[in-house]
Amino acid sequence: MTEPGYDDAPGGVGPSRRDRLPELGLPEPELIEAVLLEPELPGPEPPERGVPGPDQSEPGGPGRGMSEPVPGAQPRRQGPLWLPRHRRPRPEWDVLGAIAAGGALGGLARWGIENAFAAPPDTFPWATFIVNISGAFVLSFLLVLIVEVFPPSRYARPFIAVGFLGAYTTFSTWMIEADELVSHGEAQLGVGYLFASMFAGFAAVSFGLIIGRAVVLGSSGPAAEGD
């Protein structure tokens, strides 16, 4: 039977987070952050197998006796799993700058397409459809080239994949437009738009991978023949 104050995890190993809080002596803001953000607070290590714990008696006496392994219990990770602010990794500002620059350009590109292919209400949202399908194709195609053809770069993925294409494509607008079509009595068009975008997106990703792999094989072919 698990003693009071112990976790409900398999084996009941380690004091609960709530019971450990008074022992940490943290200021209130850091204490709240530790409770909300960290998976586990530091605590005393469990007794070794076969060694009585501090509140246990010898075998045969009162109490739980020798600690026994619990089938299926996960071993407890060592050391504190949360870090104070001064020990956390610092932001990589140059990478964040690349993401921001790509996001600004991707947002402008999407704005231009939305204006060029603006559709009346209660009609098929071609602008968002074109944006998402073309973005899915470009993402899969360029990632193949970035990984297998282009030289290693610190900024290529953050700028193109996270920044530009993250701002260029949109999931929320796709959902909102489908919901508006259904709400305005165009249920068939809304459902068709939803599934057409999904399947066309999968097809665009597959097509981009195929084209990207063909480019990789084509670029490696002449090099192999030269050797």
Amino acid letter for position 202: F
Q: Determine the pLDDT at residue 206.
A: 95
Is pLDDT at 135 greater than 50 in this prediction?
A: yes
What is the C-alpha separation between 179 and 190, in angstroms, rounded? Answer: 7
Residues 6+ apart with CB under 8 A from 142: 160, 161, 212
**Inter-CA distances, 6 with 11, 14, 219, Å:** 9, 6, 61
What percent of the chain shows pLDDT beyond 70? Answer: 58
CA-to-CA separations, 36 to 1, 33, 41, 82, 195, in angstroms, rounded: 28, 5, 11, 11, 38
Interval 42-51 mean pLDDT: 50
Look at 33 and 207; give whichever has higher pLDDT: 207
% residues pLDDT > 90 (the chain) = 42
Q: What confidence category does residue 99 fall into, taking pLDDT thresholds of 50, 70 and 90? A: very high
Q: Are 5 and 19 in contact (CB under 8 A)?
A: yes
- What pLDDT does 151 receive? 83
**Phi, psi angles (nearest 5°) of residue 15:** -65, 155
Query: Average pLDDT, whole number, for the chain?
Result: 75
d(CA 133, CA 174): 11
Written as one string, the DSSP assignment of 182-195 is HHTT-HHHHHHHHH
Look at residue 68 and tell me whether its pLDDT is greater than 70.
no
Highest mean pLDDT: which range of 68-77, 145-154, 196-205: 196-205
Q: Of the candidates 172, 110, 104, which has an alpha carbon nearest to the alpha carbon of residue 135? A: 110
Q: CA 190 to CA 207: how far, in whole Å? A: 25
Q: Decide if pLDDT at 157 tops 60.
A: yes
Residue 75 tokens read as 């071993």
What is the per-residue pLDDT for 199?
96
Structure confidence at residue 41 (pLDDT):
46
pTM higher than 0.85, yes or no? Answer: no
Exposure string over 55-64, b if 16+ CB within 10 A, otherwise e? ebeeeeeeee
pLDDT for res 83: 59
Whether the per-residue pLDDT at 40 is higher than 50: the answer is: no
Helices H / strands E in the chain, number of each: 8, 0
